[in-house]
Chains A and B, each alone.
Chain A
Amino acid sequence: MIFRQIIILIVLPLFPALITGLAHPKRPSWNENQLLADEIALSSAIKLTDRLWVDARSASDYEKDHIPGALLLNEDAWDELLAAVLLEWSPEKTIVVYCSSSQCQTSREVAKRLRETVGIELVFVLKGGWEAWQDSKNSSSEFR
Chain B
Amino acid sequence: MKINFICKLLSVLVAGIFIYAGILKILDPSQFLIDIQNYHILPYQIAVVLALYLPWLEILCGISIFIHQFNRGALVILFGLMIIFMVALTSAWLRGIDISCGCFGKAVHKTSFLHVILRDAGILIVIGILIFKNSLKEMTAPGIVR
Mark A residues whose CB is within 8 Å of B. 2, 4-6, 8-10, 12-14, 16-18, 20-21, 24, 26-30, 32, 36, 102-103, 105
Contact = CB atoms under 8 A, between A and B. Distances in A.
Contacts of B70: 5, 8-9
A1 B26 CA distance: 30
A36 B64 CA distance: 36
A8 B73 contact: yes
B76 A2 contact: yes
Given A26-B30, A30-B45, A6 B56 contact: no
B132 interface: no
Q: Categorize the interface residue count of chain B.
A: 20 to 34
B61 interface: yes
A55 B59 CA distance: 38
Given A13-B57, A27-B52, 20 more contacts: A2-B72, A5-B70, A5-B74, A8-B70, A8-B73, A9-B60, A9-B73, A13-B53, A13-B56, A17-B52, A17-B53, A20-B26, A20-B56, A21-B48, A24-B26, A27-B30, A28-B52, A29-B48, A32-B44, A105-B34
